[in-house]
Homo-oligomer: A and B are copies of this chain.
Amino acid sequence: MDFFNSQTRKNNLKCHKKRLTQDQVRLLEISFNSNNKLDSDRKSQLAQELGLPPRQVAIWYQNKRARWKSQSLEVDYKALQQRLDNAMSDNDRLKLEVERLKEELNKAQEMLLAFNTTTNNYSSISSSCDEVGSSCLQLHDQSKHHLDKELYACLIGDEGHFGHNFFASSMS
């Protein structure tokens, strides 16, 4: 139709780009899979075997590399997606675990405080656990006189950071 415009009239004489035969493609694929680069020896050899100009073989390799690259990008994309899914479900599990541990720790701390008050003849054991939980930091300063020396040491922990984290954990 409009094949004879000023810009395109040159190539309407069909540049039939004949497709390669299946056999040719097959051989090229095999060769490519063993090595996606093409030294000139291999190029000549393949050109011979295929009945194609070496130039065309080189171009085929060129295009194949490009295709292969975008293909592998897609494969990588799917793999990455899988890894992300795994990481996210790990994340969910860990978050639940953290919540559970915080609850348990909270209970343990409440119990400790209860123990402490009872063993020191405090009548305030009935104070709600929630209040105690959120005022643990103060216990560090206010209640230590009432703890057995040995147990206090255990509460504070052997590591320097433990005493800090121990009471702060349920609020972060």
Residues of chain A whose beta carbon lies under 8 Å from any beta carbon of chain B: 1-3, 5-8, 10-11, 13-18, 20, 47, 51-56, 70, 73-74, 76-77, 80-81, 83-84, 87-88, 90-91, 94-95, 97-98, 100-105, 107-112, 114-115, 118-119, 129, 148, 151, 154-155, 157, 162, 165-166, 169
Contact = CB atoms under 8 A, between A and B. Distances in A.
A135 B70 CA distance: 56
Q: Which 7 A-B pairs have the closest CB atoms?
A: A108-B108, A94-B94, A101-B101, A11-B15, A2-B53, A87-B87, A15-B15
A73 B18 CA distance: 30
A54 B7 CA distance: 12
A18 B9 CA distance: 10
A77 to B, nearest CB: 5
Contacts of A169: 100-101, 104
Nearest to A5: B53
Contact of A10 (B15, B77, B88): B15
A6 B51 contact: yes
A44 to B, nearest CB: 11
A104 B107 contact: no
Contact of A165 (B8, B100, B129): B100
Contact of A84 (B16, B70, B80, B97): B80
B97 A166 contact: no
